Amino acid sequence: MSEPAHKRLLTDLGRGELAEWCGLRGEAPFRADQIRRWIFGKRVADFEEMHDLSKPLRAALAEDFRLFASEIVRHQIASDRTEKLLLRLEDGSHIECVLMREPDRRTVCLSTQVGCAMGCVFCASGLLGLKRNLSVGEILEQVLRLDRLLGADERITNVVVMGIGEPLANIKSLLPAMETLNEKGGLGLGARRITISSVGLPEKIRELARYGKPFNLAVSLHAPNDELRNRLVPVNERIGIAAILEATDDYFRDTGRRVTFEYVLLGGLNDGVEHARELANLLAGRGAHVNLIPMNAISELPYADPSHARTAAFVDILTEAGIAATVRKRKGADIDAACGQLRLAEEQGSTSSQTTHELSDAVVPNR
């Protein structure tokens, strides 16, 4: 059980705020670093385990804060060792997070909102609409929970923010959370190992660029023209592809990071050679990478798998046009690891669909 909600969630505080809290109790600021080391580096479950802190300081921490704000209500493990957690937050909301393992990396996929307002038509996460944003601590807590599933000699190597929600619509919590993951006193993960996935909110993309950290940006495009994209990603009606590409060009210019474009292949809808050619024209000269995600057909939704032949033809057209394209491999397929499915089942008593934010670390560039 999580602790009573009147206590603040410790991970909602940045390093500076925690040092300030220590100062108010007559403790040196470096105590904040010690506390954070216990949380992010040593995987403690309780303040009592923070042995190098004085007893009164541990008691004060326990008096003012709680370490976790969620309960694990489901824990699934796939045959490829992908693990998925369904967490219940204090207000009864559910979110999902996932750990994906590969020989040389352990990637976690995080949610940033309870639900989503973007309304992508093939996505389970948006079906119930947006309930609320997650706090900084609620985003970080997913990392802590997943980190504690790893063996003593294993560490998280990559973070992808492509779970439930539109990360840039909650940039206020997203940035401090990513900062803590990036900081030495936090998880100490290089910014280049963090990927933020968005439907493409131009002003927020610019805000992310101004933040000045070379995070990877992945934009979910899914269509090569506005007419089709308006149907698949309804929020596009008030944005438009041209404005998104202007913003991603700026992101590349300002951060030096090439943008990945994600494209879910919906059989017979956006997977034709004409779509591939249009996409190739759109992205020509942008040095972009395209990540193709074959739709996994679900009976409740009127979308079909793309055939292997159409997928291969799509890749060929992009490649011939000089655009790097990969087909994303599925992770955790046997545990319905696509984000939103488990939450929807829990909240509605049904299972449904996949999201473009389907689990994979294929968008994380090799380095």
Residues that bind ligand SF4 (CB under 6 A): 116, 118-120, 123, 125-126, 164-166, 199, 355-357
CA distance 60 to 221: 49
Known active-site residue 83: no
CB 199 within 8 A of CB 130: no
- Catalytic status, residue 96: yes
Tell me how crowded residue 3 is: count the other CB atoms within 10 A of its CB. 14
Q: How far is the CB of 359 from ligand SF4 (least distance, A)?
A: 13
CB 198 within 8 A of CB 204: yes
Residue from 96, 138, 141, 358 carrying the catalytic annotation: 96
Question: Between residues 11 and 198, which has the closer beta carbon with respect to ligand SF4?
Answer: 198
- Least Cβ distance, residue 130 to ligand SF4 (angstroms): 9
Q: How far is the CB of 52 from ligand SF4 (least distance, A)?
A: 41
Smallest distance from ligand SF4 to CB 21, Å: 34
The residue (of 156 and 221) whose beta carbon lies closer to ligand SF4 is 221
Nearest distance from C-beta of residue 198 to ligand SF4, angstroms: 8
Among 27, 262, 339, 358, the active-site one is 339
Say how far apart CA 240 and CA 233 lie, in whole Å.
10
Residues 6+ apart with CB under 8 A from 335: 76, 77, 78, 82, 84
Q: Which residues contact 347 (CB under 8 A, 6 or more apart)?
A: 94, 128
Q: Please, which residue, 21 or 263, has the CB nearer to ligand SF4? A: 263
Residues marked as catalytic:
96, 339
